[in-house]
Amino acid sequence: MASIGIVGAGTAGLHLGLKLLSHGVSVTLYAEQDPAKLREGRLPNTVAHHPPTRARERELGVDHWSGPSADIRYVGIHVNGPQSLSMRGRLDKTSIFVDYRLYQPRLAEDFVARGGRLEVLPVDGAALEGLSLKHDLMVVATGKNGLTSLFPRNAELSPHTRPARLLFAALLKGVQMEEPPGMNANLVPGQGEIFESQVISRHGRVPSLLVEALPDSELAVLSTQRYDADPRAFEALLLDRLRRFAPTTYARVNPAEFGILGPLDWLQGAFTPVVRRAWAPLANGRFVMAVGDTHVTNDPVAGQGANAASASAFALAARILDALATDRPFDEGFCRAAEEKMWAAVAPATHWTNALLQPPPPHVVDVLVAGSQEQRVADAFANAFMVPENILSACASPESAAAFITQNRQANRDVPPPEAWQIPEEAVTPRAVVR
């Protein structure tokens, strides 16, 4: 029986492994630590899974968390600068934020329960060579930090040579959550972006924050001043930045209760977005593939890295299944063809992310203004925002932006106006996880 080895039990490795298992392929995942240990660890990110990824999760049978009080149904976009504007769009298909400290261990359990083999083994270059002789193909899914030096940077597709944003993310307390669940993107000229959302965590649904600070901005201090050196001082600083740069979130803060949820519920950092070659030859003549962040690392500003990792895992799975069905070797030809399909699956996410890291051109500002004035344009923009192909085509040129506004103004004139945003008292209290 054919056997595939995958290094790394993150979202890319798990989605690839589960997909291959569902087609009867034997898969071994090599994880650097027991995935259950993640449950006790630091917040690794604040990841939204958008409709295309959620469809893949339903196909894999791993949609364990969705439900009316978990699914994100609204997107607020607020430009907070000299010229402010706000829109709130309703999503036809919902997104969801699940704390990866719940998500990845649970999917690893699913993988093992379905017959997958999981070995705890931190794999280095030498070990990879050895493993490549045990499996028909080895795939490296070690994220943005592990084993990446095997895969050369593609300079043409990688415009960044240093981090475009400095990051701070946290789970919070003392912020009244909007009902039904939504997320708010604050775009702050000269400062960066502040995303407020709601994450399904071990405490149920809780408010969360991602700050994407431009280097040298007033937000950047949130990525450099240590929280644990003086938690109260840090929280006062955070509150000040919310007041000045994310007023719709600040309006729902109870200062007496505000703070970071738990001692490990925050992260600070920065990384350089990069596209690497998706394959590498080993000294023993075998070839390995890269998937997920190991192949393409996007800045989190567009919330697309994990969604792209999942899309890429499915694209690679299709190529592997095809090669196995037709008895073709996992040689350089296979790698080049697979890379082409994987890049086609993830390129829109990278292009959209890189576009969002730049100030919006005037025609995109026109769409935002139209969305702030007309609910149907706001709805269409929010839905497009989640799917890179759709938002890219809407924002591609002044002509496409004008057409997007006109079409959506004219469309669905019988749609009722949006329901009012209600924030019940109990919403600030974390709820049980919805399964």
Structure tokens at 396: 């591609």
Q: Closest approach of Cβ 256 to ligand FAD, in Å?
A: 27
Q: Quote the least distance from Cβ 257 to ligand FAD, whole Å.
A: 24
How far does CA 311 lie from the centroid of its chain? 12
* CB of 8 closer than 8 Å to CB of 122: no
- In the range 43-72, which residues lie near ligand FAD by CB under 6 A? 45-48
Q: Is 13 a binder of ligand FAD (CB under 6 A)?
A: yes
Q: How many residues bind ligand FAD (CB under 6 A)?
A: 33
The Cα-based distances of 262 to 99, 170, 202, 203, 258 in angstroms read 13, 9, 11, 10, 12
Residue 152 tokens, joined:
């050369």
One symbol per residue from 95 to 134: x for binding ligand FAD (CB under 6 A), - otherwise; what is it?
---------------------------xx-----------
Among 2, 4, 7, 311, binds ligand FAD (CB under 6 A): 7
Interstrand relation of 182-188 and 72-79 (parallel, antiparallel or unpaired): parallel
Report in angstroms how near the CB of residue 151 gets to ligand FAD at its nearest.
Answer: 12
390/394 Cα distance (integer angstroms):
6
Q: How far is the CB of 325 from ligand FAD (least distance, A)?
A: 26
**Binding string, 275-304, against ligand FAD, x = CB under 6 A?**
-----------------xx------x--xx
193 to 232, contacts with ligand FAD by CB under 6 A? Answer: 210
129-158: which residues touch ligand FAD (CB under 6 A)?
Answer: 141-143, 146-147
- Kindly indicate which of the ranges 5-13, 18-26, 83-91, 424-432 contains the residues binding ligand FAD, using the contact rule CB under 6 A: 5-13
Single out the residue of 8, 181, 348, 371 in contact with ligand FAD (rule: CB under 6 A): 8
Chain residues in the site for ligand FAD (CB under 6 A): 7-13, 30-32, 45-48, 122-123, 141-143, 146-147, 167, 169, 210, 292-293, 300, 303-307, 309
